[in-house]
Structures are given as structure tokens and as C-alpha cells.
Amino acid sequence: MAAMALFFREFVRTRRDTGAIAPSGPSLASALTRYVVPGSGRPRAVLEVGPGTGAVTRRVRASMGSLDTLDLAEANPRFAALLQRTHGRDARVRLLEGPVQEHELGAYDTIVCGLPFANFDEGTVEDLFGRLLGALRPGGTLSFFAYAGLPVLRRTFAGDEERRRARRTQAVIARTLQRHRFRAETVLGNLPPARVHHLAAVAPAPAYSG
Ligand SMILES: C[S@@+](CC[C@H](N)C(=O)[O-])C[C@H]1O[C@@H](n2cnc3c(N)ncnc32)[C@H](O)[C@@H]1O
């Protein structure tokens, strides 16, 4: 409950960066962590970007093997302090406090991302996708979500300038999905419903239809 209250307070304080009024629910957390699976051979490296109060982090940790590692990149110092208290004693977890753009990232098998891309300008989104896709090991995946219907709401209620910004940002997201997405799923059991996108650094070859 304290996490829920903190999340809402931070939404009021920094709406653009927090991007939601409440943490992700269990069905969304489960879809986002679909590709966090313990490896049979070498340890696996996981990065979670924008973990907030840790709704998805708990699921990530539960899916990790004992030798796997988890980097948490969180920009908001109040969320980072909560994450440190909750997950800091797990030797597999390392907290990267501050915007993910300000950190030297490692190489990851799985990246789970909670960033509210739709709120950012096109340059920031382009830069973030470049960094995250560039930090994937061969065969690695990047999973992120967007609230279903949000772009339409934005177009309906926003002023001209905000509408133009949102359109440019959506174009970058659409182009990235076209190049890198190999799977998408809709999570109706979240409030609001969300669309989860799974990306690979190298776009999968189109299916043979001969
Ligand atoms: C929509 S919330 C998602 C929180 C959590 N993953 C969840 O699903 O409940 C977005 C999170 O991204 C964080 N964030 C925003 N910009 C960031 C950045 N540049 N680097 C790291 N975290 C950022 C916010 O502070 C917030 O915790």
C-alpha cells in the first residue's frame, strides 16, 4: 500500500517521467518478464529500466537463477531508495540510480523496460532505443509496454504543439517496432489495458511463404 501511495505521489510530482498513476498489475508484470528465464548453461544478465516501486522487479527476481544478475536503472531518487531497501540485500542486484542514459550499460540477455516512451520527445526515444537495443547480447530480447488507446486519447485532448510532439514520437516508436519486434501481446487484465512489445536487436527474418 505504501508503494502504491508513493507511486501516485510521484505521478503528481513528475507526471511525464512517472508515466502512470499506479504500478503495473500482475498480468502486465508476467507478460513483460516472459523472456526472463534462467539459462541452462552460463549465468544470464538482466536489466530493468524504470522499475519504479518494483512491481515488475519482484517477478524478475523470482524468475532468475542463483548466478543470474539484475541491474535496476531508476531515475527517480525516491523510487531508487525504496528499491535499495527492498532489493538491495540480494547480491545478484545492482542499483543504477539516475537516468539510464547516464550509465555505462553492460551486455544483457534480457531487458525489461517500464519507460513511458510516449511522454518523451522523438530524439530521446531514438536515443533510448539505440542504447537499449545496443546493450543486448546476441539472441537477447527487449520487452516494453504502452497503454492501449493512449495515442488516440492524446490526439483528442492535447493542444497543437503536444499533438505534434506525440505524432513525431509515435513515428519513432512505430519505426522501431517495424524493424525489431518479433512478438506483441495485449494485456486486458491491467488497468489500463496495455500492449507489450518484444524486440530483438536484429529483426527476425520474414517467414518463408513459398
Ligand atoms: C510507467 S513507470 C513504470 C514503473 C514500473 N516498471 C511498473 O511497471 O510499475 C516509469 C518508470 O520509469 C522511470 N524513468 C523515467 N525516465 C527514466 C530514465 N530516463 N531512466 C530510468 N528510469 C526512468 C520513472 O521514474 C518510473 O519509475
50 and 78 in contact (C-beta within 8 Å)? no
Q: Is the CB–ligand 1 distance for residue 146 below 6 Å?
A: no
17 located within any domain: yes
Atom 18 of ligand 1, residue of closest alpha carbon? 99
Q: Which residues of the chain form beta strands (DSSP E)?
A: 45-49, 69-74, 93-97, 108-113, 136-147, 181-187, 194-200
Whole-number pLDDT of residue 138:
95
Provide, rounded to the nearest whole percent, the portion of the chain with pLDDT above 70: 95
Please report the pLDDT score of residue 157 as a whole number.
Answer: 78
> Does 141 contact ligand 1 (Cβ within 6 A)?
no
| C-alpha span between 37 and 46 (Å, rounded) | 10
Output the domain CATH number for residue 172. Answer: 3.40.50.150
Residue 51 Cα: closest atom of ligand 1 = 6
Residue 207 lies in a domain: no
**Ligand 1 centroid to residue 175 C-alpha, Å:** 22
Q: How far is Cα 147 from Cα 161, in angstroms, rounded to an integer?
A: 21
The list of the chain residues with pLDDT below 50 reads none
Q: What is the pLDDT of residues 30-45, one digit of tens each?
A: 999 999 987 777 899 9
How do residues 12-65 score in pLDDT, each as one tens digit?
Answer: 999 999 998 889 999 999 999 999 987 777 899 999 999 999 999 999 999 999
Averaged pLDDT score across all residues of the chain: 93
Please tell me the distance between residue 82's alpha carbon and the centre of ligand 1 in angstroms.
13
Residue 184 lies in domain:
2-199
In a domain, residue 204? The reply is no
- 147 C-beta closer than 6 A to ligand 1: no
209 assigned to some structural domain: no
pLDDT value for 209: 52
pTM here is: 0.94
- Count of domains observed in the chain: 1
